[in-house]
């Protein structure tokens, strides 16, 4: 079954999330083990930046905006 195959390797979800973000023209955010409070922002061009990451919510608790603050370029 396809679901069993997908669930057998949960590392696929990060790859699928990044792929979908790039298809939409958006950056992909993820946190590596040694990044502490910082996040990595990968652009569709392949550039990777280290950023501080904050999600803004509306009055109903739904995410409406991502605010990231540039720290340094990784690649």
Note the pLDDT of residue 3.
Answer: 67
Note the pLDDT of residue 57.
Answer: 95
Query: At which residue do the structure tokens 């739904």 appear?
Result: 62
DSSP state at residue 60: T
Note the pLDDT of residue 22.
Answer: 82
70, 51 in Cβ contact below 8 A? Answer: yes
What pTM was computed for the model?
0.72
Question: How far is the C-alpha of 10 from the C-alpha of 63, rounded, in Å?
Answer: 25
Q: Per-residue confidence of the chain (75 residues) as pLDDT tens digits? A: 666 766 666 666 677 778 888 888 889 998 888 888 999 999 999 999 999 989 999 999 999 998 999 999 998
Query: At which residue do the structure tokens 């990777």 appear?
Result: 48
Note the pLDDT of residue 48.
Answer: 94
């Amino acid at each position: 079954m396809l679901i069993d195959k997908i669930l057998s390797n949960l590392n696929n979800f990060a790859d699928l999330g990044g792929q979908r973000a790039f298809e939409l023209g958006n950056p992909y955010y993820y946190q590596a083990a040694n990044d502490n409070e910082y996040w990595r922002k990968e652009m569709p061009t392949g550039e990777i930046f280290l950023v501080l990451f904050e999600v803004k919510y509306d009055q109903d608790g739904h995410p409406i905006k991502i605010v990231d603050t540039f720290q340094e370029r990784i690649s």
